[in-house]
Amino acid sequence: MRIGILGGTFDPIHKTHIRIAKGALDNDLVDKILIMPSPCPPHKKSSNVTDSWHRINMIKLAIEDYKDMELSTFELDNNFTYTADTLTQLNNHQDDYYFIVGGDSIASFSSWYHPEIILNNCELIAVKRADSSAEDFIKNINKIESEFTTKVHILNIDSDNISSSSIKKIGINHAKAYLDEKVYQYIVDNNLYKDTIISPMNLTEIKADIQKNLTPSRYIHTLGVAETAKNMAQVYNYNPNTAYLAAILHDVAKNYSDEELLKMAKANNIEISDSELNAPYLLHAKLGAFIAENKYHITDSEVLSAIRWHTTGKADMTTLDKIIFCADYIEPGRTKQERLDYLRELSLLDLDLLTFEILKQTVDYLKKTKGDNIDPNTINAYEYYRKVIDNRNDK
Ligand code: DGI
Ligand code: FE
Ligand code: FE
């Protein structure tokens, strides 16, 4: 059997990878393709490479529909970073191996680690991109063929210049077109490449738009929450830009009347709980998340969740949920809440304790002012964080 090997970091796997694999199969250069992610190539810093299980999962999703493509974790399992090692160990002397080399890499092939060992175990397939010079390409190939007495096969790919690193640079949202849909969804669901997942609207545009829709005092409150959330994120190892964005959006639905909130929820099939029916202003959290997603095209599920839960809280919140929930309560513009000095000091020391203290004060306050109408999520949150703190104190 003729086995083609497509190596790389696949961080993330994109459509051009698939086009190359498919091209090699369709042109009958090979019978099967192994997609083989590398642990971390010698020329890249390991710190920048996404965890291998995520890269593996994305590959699985991308090749799901292609029966002649297979994931191989051979390099990951053996921690091989040199193709020479991989091929020596992989070669079973029954199959024929073809190693696929992308456009630019062919120029430097002679300087790879033991190219002669590589070519003892396989033949090369050089990928020629439509947008690169044919002359240089042929020159490089002829050089390898004469230097190593081997045959280099050519695969013409009608492809754009996309690479994983350029995908990360332009941002996942803009690069959506270059990614398999399931891979894109996986990236969003798992918050990968986070620094780049914002919305097509940039932060300045979002802020200007929010300012237009809020009263001046509500906008000042929003900016206060954003600064507070950003500072807290740095302490709790969360992306400060993501925290800032979530805070900027948290009260985006605050300036609607109860009637408008109810109407919008119904129109958009957003479930209205009993407690929200009793106190419709609570809906500004759910509708805020809805507007963030549909008007500002925010796809980061952690941002949407933090907006969704910022008013009532809930049991077992994420780091960002807690940051936004707490920052909303202690931002510099707040004056009426009790023990603000203590809570503000606590905010940079202990996020779970802060969450608990705020929930406790909120429940006390609501008992006094709203009687029985406390949202069940608030009660659950309070009990959950009381246990978290109790368990900690028991130890
Ligand atoms: O939107 P903000 O004013 O910045 O703050 P928020 O989203 O925390 O909303 C605060 C209001 O929500 C305040 O009037 C108290 C009320 N609230 C918070 N939790 C509950 C609640 N009201 C009811 N009925 N039940 C709750 O569990
Ligand atoms: Fe709010
Ligand atoms: Fe708020």
Provide the pLDDT for residue 197.
45
Spans of the chain, pLDDT less than 50: 196-197
Closest CA to 319 of 327, 311, 172, 283: 327
Looking at all shown ligands, the one closest to residue 325's CA atom is 1
Provide the pLDDT for residue 196.
46
Looking at all shown ligands, the one closest to residue 312's CA atom is 1
Provide the pLDDT for residue 47.
57
Alpha-carbon distances of 24 from 19, 50, 122, 150, rounded to whole Å = 9, 27, 15, 19
Provide the pLDDT for residue 257.
96
139 within 8 A of 109, measured Cβ to Cβ:
no
Looking at all shown ligands, the one closest to residue 379's CA atom is 1
Query: What's the gap in Å between 279 CA and the centre of ligand 1?
Result: 9
Tokens of 224: 């206060």
Query: What's the gap in Å between 372 CA and the centre of ligand 1?
Result: 14
Q: Which residue is closest in CA terms to ligand 1's atom 5?
A: 311
**Which of 311, 336, 362, 368 best tests ligand 1's pocket when mutated (most atoms within 8 Å of CB)?**
311
Q: Which atom of ligand 1 is nearest to the CA of 281?
A: 12
Q: Which residues line ligand 1 (CB under 6 A)?
A: 221, 251, 254, 279, 282, 310-312, 328, 362, 366, 370, 373-375, 378
- pTM for the full predicted model: 0.57
**Which of 282, 365, 369, 378 best tests ligand 1's pocket when mutated (most atoms within 8 Å of CB)?**
282
Closest CA to 362 of 381, 384, 388, 387: 381
326 within 8 A of 358, measured Cβ to Cβ:
yes
3-state secondary structure 89-136: HHCCCCCEEEEEECHHHHHHHHHCCCHHHHHHHCEEEEEEECCCCHHH
> 30: buried, middle or exposed (CB in 10 Å: 19+, 13-18, 0-12)?
buried
